[in-house]
Structure 1
C-alpha cells in the first residue's frame, strides 16, 4: 500500500515516523511506498489552541487531496496533537485515515494496561487522550496544564528539547507513577521522544508515535 503522511507538525516528529517506518519495513524485507506532505506546525498549533477543529480538518483535507493525487491509498497524521480534529477530518477526507487513537486502544487492550499517565499538549491531556475508552487516563494537575503545554509546543516547534524541558517532563512522569499509580507513562505528544531520550527509565514508557507507526506498517504491508 502506498502510505501518505501529513508531516511537518513538527519536523522532528515527521523524521521519527519516517525512521520508524523504514525500520519496520526493512525488518520484514518489504519495500516502503511513502509520500509525505509538509504541513505548517505553527498554523496547526494556532488552531489547536483556539479549538478550531473544522478549520484544521479542512487544511489537512487539502494535504490529503495532494497525497491522493500522488497515488497514496491511506493517510496518517504524524502528530497526537493533530488528532484533535481527527473526527472532523475523517468525515471529509478523500482517503482512509489510519487513526492513532484506534491503534492505542488496541495496544492497551492487548497489553492489559488499564491505567496510564499521559503527557502532551493541553488538548491531549484535557481530553484524556481524546476520550480513549477502556483505560483510566491520568495527567498533571489542572493548574499545571498550561506549563506542560507550553513546554511541549516550544519543543515541538524547535525540534529539540532543553534540559529544563527534559527535567520537567521526567519529574511529571515520576509523579504520575508514584502519586497517582499509573501503570505506564504514555508519550501523548509525538515530539516527546526529544525529552525522553535516555536508554531506560524506572517506569514503563509507551510512545504513541511508535504504536501508531507499527499500525501504519501493519496495514501498509497487509
Structure 2
C-alpha cells in the first residue's frame, strides 16, 4: 500500500510524520511506500478562520489529484486544522482519504475516555475541534485560551518550541485535567510534538501523529485497504 500525505501544514509536523513513519515501518518490518504533497499552511489557516470549507476542499482535491499518479492508494491530511473541511474534501476526493479525527474518536471509545482536553490552533480550540467528535465531550483551556493558541501558532510557524512555550502547554494541559475533569489531553495540533516529544508531563497525552501512524502500519500489515 502506497501512502500519500498532504504535508507542509506545518513543516515541522510533516518532518515528524516522515521520520516516525520510517521508524514505525522499520520496527514492524514492513516496506514503506510514501509520497508527500506540499500544501500552503497559511492559506489553510486563513480559510479555516473564515470557515471556507468548500474553497479549502477544492485546494485539497487538487493535491489529491496528483497522488494517485505517484502510486498512492490512501491519503492523509497532516493537520487537524485541515479536517475542518474533511466531509467536503472526502466528497470530491479522487482517492481514499483517511479520517484523521475518526481515529481519535475510536481511540477514546476503546480506552474509556469520555472528556478530552485539547491543545492546538485558534480555530481548533474555538470550535471544539470543529465539532467533529460526536461521542466525546471536548474541553479547551480556560484562563490560558489566548496564550495557548498564540504560542502554538508561533511554534508552528518557526518550527521551534521554547521552554516557556512548553511550560505553558504543560500547565494548560494539567489545568484541564484538574479543573475541567478531562481524562486525557489531545495534541490537536500536529506541531505539538515539538513541545511534547521525549517529555513526561503528569497527565495522559494522546498524540495524534502516533494514532495516525499506528493506523497506517496496521493497514499495511493486513495487506492494505479493506
Question: TM-score interval w.r.t. the shorter chain?
Answer: over 0.9
**Match in the other structure for 1:136:** 137
TM superposition score normalised by structure 1: 0.93
Distance 1:190 1:167 in 2: 18
CA contact (8 A) 1:188 1:208 kept: yes
Q: Residues 117-196 of structure 1 correspond to what in structure 2 (within 5 A)? A: 117-131=117-131, 132-141=133-142, 144-196=144-196
CA contact (8 A) 2:144 2:172 kept: no
| Shift in alpha-carbon separation, 1:212–1:167, aligned structure 2, 3 A | same
Corresponding residue SS for 1:179: helix
Is 1:56 aligned to 2:56, yes or no? Answer: yes
Corresponding residue SS for 1:90: helix
Comparing 61-70 with 193-202, which one deviates more in the overlay?
193-202
Instruction: Write the deviation string for residues 135-182 of structure 1: whole angstroms up to 9, x where unpaired.
Output: 1111122x7544322221221121111233212211111110111111
Distance 1:48 1:156 in 2: 16
CA contact (8 A) 1:3 1:220 kept: no
Instruction: Write the deviation string for residues 88-130 of structure 1: whole angstroms up to 9, x where unpaired.
Output: 1101111111111111111111111111111111222233233
Q: Give the deviation of 1:10 after TM superposition.
A: 0.6
Give unpaired runs (5+ residues) of structure 2. Answer: none
Corresponding residue SS for 1:200: coil
Is 1:13 aligned to 2:13, yes or no? Answer: yes
**Match in the other structure for 2:37:** 37
Distance 1:21 1:221 in 2: 14
Is 1:87 aligned to 2:91, yes or no? Answer: no
Distance 2:82 2:219 in 1: 21
TM superposition score normalised by structure 2: 0.92
**Match in the other structure for 2:26:** 26
Distance 2:49 2:61 in 1: 19
Give unpaired runs (5+ residues) of structure 1. Answer: none
Q: How many positions carry a matched residue from both structures? A: 221
Corresponding residue SS for 1:76: strand
Distance 1:214 1:54 in 2: 30
Q: Give the deviation of 1:198 after TM superposition.
A: 4.5
Distance 1:71 1:198 in 2: 34
- RMSD of aligned Cα (Å): 1.6
Q: Give the deviation of 1:49 after TM superposition.
A: 1.9
CA contact (8 A) 2:7 2:39 kept: yes
Distance 2:56 2:77 in 1: 12
CA contact (8 A) 2:9 2:41 kept: yes
